[in-house]
Structure 1
């Protein structure tokens, strides 16, 4: 595909809305909205191919490997059963390329795709497309929709370009994917990265400001330095030992927004246990069981925006190993929280 040839673009699925209580403070709301798409670090994301040519599947596998090679705390594993996969990948050539954003994939039916590729992934542009869609699943939005980017569009030309071939979008789709600015609650920092893998390619004439992009914007492809910094900060590598959480012993947590605490649980007896947090913080609490060396999701709860604590019950078996992970959204009135199981 030549540099000036029109290119198809990612057409991501709309966000799944959440209902937050009336009267919630703006700082608390911002953190919940910002962090709710992010996975608990240490999660193994399972993916399944809903058919597709072998070469296209291999291109997607390579893109997962490239993200993982950055040393992040997430892992990716291919599974044969779509019911075991958080990420289900289709290759419908008539449906464009898209993905749901972050943990929104968990709200999609177990037989439905959460990601689709609508063109050849074995080209340089296709490789970037595969990295781009996985970026969405990790929680990254489109970079050009950053509200701090300062992009001024020739809106008539934008609509004319994207409603034509090869995208064939409606005006609503064009607005949603290009012209709409993301709410400031949903972005981290303020710098725009035109080299990001999450940035579109744009032909000449669509951008009027910044002036350097009047003749078009062509990202270099692949993961930019800022992409790599973001994913390492959001999902840092799991280094060092994990402390053991003992039953009936509350452990105080002092975390900043987005930070996480992890605990190993070796239950002293086989029975049903309660696992929960205490304090006024908003958290997501997730329990994994280690099966053949891989953490598999067992139970979890998210209390964000609610006047309660995360709490769930699970039957734990003596001799098996479990990992409890607590990720903080908002530190609450006291700035402190605690975790315990009993």
Structure 2
């Protein structure tokens, strides 16, 4: 029996300028979708009364309005799965909100719309009235909890593990196309290629170790994999984060071990970071005005400013200067008496000189 599978839309390949070394490009690919550590991702469930898609019924010209809302039991499964990821000790937290304008992640349950999610920071480019995640079948059914855990993994920035180029999987391409063209997936050849057959760039995957138990690997029945021989009978991941999933996600989101350093206006703070590392600062402005927050030096960085509201950081602004000769820089209005967090993650250091961050 063919399982329903996650279907991501193919995103355009990143465009890097000339002259970037292979090492620098690999660093940019590895981190371009990942959030900064310490992010609180707010999620909301879309409303039954207002959110829907109009779809054409297969085999007829009939148009049907399909709501995006889910029932209480489905919502509870999603809440439990967010808690399961957070319980791994990761440095990203999840908080449910009722206002979609406050949510980085917006979840719908359009039946027949497939299950998919924006991958990591791609969610920030999705319009506020649109879903960043859809769960297209009953996730309360036996064995379907893994679907929710898988899509939350995408929201954290993880990609399909069965597409890891180090997996060494040799597929029977035409058998894959034929299998997934039928029910329950009804995939086009492009969708099957994008989500199954296409090997990811080495920089996009998690490296030299393939994890067939990963929650980010899709299940497949027999007859689709030709080699290695042990997978001719199919791929059957456990449907929950594996030990290697936990190791990988903690490498990107290691949690907070100490409080942030103060970032004093007009005083630069050196960044002694290695690739993938992050520095955290707190700003408590003495006056209300527009401030500039920026980095200096030869480095590819992600710079994010959060405002503390109700005891948790809310995304205010961000800039990614990866792959460019420029530095990350933001113009933000900071209010006296409020608290702000500045977080800088390093992709790579190139050229010469030290990196630093300053607020002025």
TM-score range, shorter chain: over 0.9
Measured against aligned partners, the alpha-carbon deviations of 1:107-154 in whole angstroms (never above 9, x if no partner) come to 111111111111111134211000000101111111110011011112
1:145 maps to which residue? Answer: 163
The CA distance in 1 between the partners of 2:182 and 2:217, in whole Å, is: 20
Residues matched between the structures, number: 338
The CA distance in 1 between the partners of 2:238 and 2:320, in whole Å, is: 38
1:248-267 correspondence to structure 2 within 5 Å: 248-267=266-285
The CA distance in 1 between the partners of 2:7 and 2:295, in whole Å, is: 38
Measured against aligned partners, the alpha-carbon deviations of 1:15-67 in whole angstroms (never above 9, x if no partner) come to 25543223322221221121110001111111111121111111111110001
SS in 2 for 1:184: coil
What is the TM-score when the length of structure 2 is the normalising length?
0.91
The answer as to 2:231 corresponding to 1:213 is: yes
SS in 2 for 1:178: helix
Q: What displacement does 1:161 show?
A: 0.8
1:127 maps to which residue? Answer: 145
Is this contact kept in 1: 2:215–2:240, CA < 8 A?
A: yes
1:70 maps to which residue? Answer: 88
1:1-342 correspondence to structure 2 within 5 Å: 5-50=1-46, 51-334=69-352, 336-342=354-360
Is this contact kept in 1: 2:9–2:191, CA < 8 A?
A: no
Measured against aligned partners, the alpha-carbon deviations of 1:210-232 in whole angstroms (never above 9, x if no partner) come to 11111122112211001111111
The CA distance in 2 between the partners of 1:220 and 1:302, in whole Å, is: 36
The CA distance in 1 between the partners of 2:258 and 2:124, in whole Å, is: 30
Q: What displacement does 1:75 show?
A: 1.0
The CA distance in 2 between the partners of 1:290 and 1:16, in whole Å, is: 34
Q: CA RMSD, aligned part only?
A: 1.4
Is this contact kept in 1: 2:270–2:354, CA < 8 A?
A: yes
Segment drifting more, 330-339 vs 90-99: 330-339
The CA distance in 1 between the partners of 2:254 and 2:203, in whole Å, is: 22
What is the TM-score when the length of structure 1 is the normalising length?
0.95
